[in-house]
Chain A
């Protein structure tokens, strides 16, 4: 009898916690940035042209933090290339903020794998910190009113991109 009580008091809660934790997708954990106004920034492109987030008001924005030294970023690069081809015509803006990288490496990378977003440089990771970025790749979905409605950490999938852009276009 006592053993059964011990089983329910100790083993069952541990199993319940494990069952809950292991069925969650860590990449879809809610971010503290979701639902907040996207912090504005003014960053330079590789050509030195200054671009601010505010200038895209009225358009949904896909904001990706990436680097050439990041393997998962290379894996999702193709997804964004395809995504840009489809959704840019519909008014979606694709921005890619380079995270702790060298200009020459970025230029070489884009020449080889294509340019799925307007590439912006971020001195001293100021914008990355302002968005709570802890590593790359991280993608923020910003609606036409400038509010972050989703943050995704990890390798982007075509399905997820389509679903989230659709959500932004219909808001």
Chain B
């Protein structure tokens, strides 16, 4: 009975160890994928590095993976690419400085359009009355 119990505990331990190891490997791949998702492919331009079939994009993903293995953080890796390619390499530019116009301008246009619409409707209704 004790031997059977010990055997199951042993198997369970191995299962946990292997599972943890597999999870560790996955997490590096997942993190590399998450970072590559944020990088614009310099060849295809419109798609992230993670989805691009180009050789350069694949090599960029490898670089991301290597940097993760060396213990670099997501921010450090993104900064590495921004330093070399410029901020356009990020699919979503950081909301600061001139980049803020990307977020603010659509809102301003929407607001301006709305006000213009209200003004025009008011003019029409005044004319009718």
A135 touching B62 by the CB < 8 A rule? no
Contact with A along B61-77 (1 / 0, CB 8 A): 01100000000000000
B55 touching A129 by the CB < 8 A rule? no
Query: Told that A133-B42, A134-B43 touch, could you supply 18 new A-B pairs with CB distance under 8 A?
Result: A31-B86, A32-B82, A32-B84, A32-B86, A36-B83, A100-B55, A100-B56, A124-B62, A126-B63, A129-B60, A129-B84, A130-B84, A131-B84, A132-B83, A132-B85, A134-B42, A134-B56, A134-B85
B86 touching A128 by the CB < 8 A rule? no
Contact with A along B82-112 (1 / 0, CB 8 A): 1111100000000000000000000000000
- CB proximity of A83 to chain B, nearest CB, Å: 26
B59 touching A126 by the CB < 8 A rule? yes
Interface residues of A in 20-49 (CB under 8 A from B): 31-33, 36
State which size class the interface on A falls in. Answer: 10 to 19
**Count of B interface residues, CB-CB < 8 Å:** 13
B84 touching A33 by the CB < 8 A rule? yes
B83 touching A32 by the CB < 8 A rule? yes
Rounded to whole angstroms, the CA-CA distance of A6 and B120 in the bound complex is 15
Q: Give the residue name and chain of the B residue nearest to A99 (CB).
A: B56
Query: What residues of A have a CB within 8 angstroms of the CB of B62 in the complex?
Result: 124
A125 touching B56 by the CB < 8 A rule? yes
Rounded to whole angstroms, the CA-CA distance of A124 and B60 in the bound complex is 9
Query: Known: A100-B55, A135-B42. Contact between A129 and B63, CB under 8 A?
Result: yes
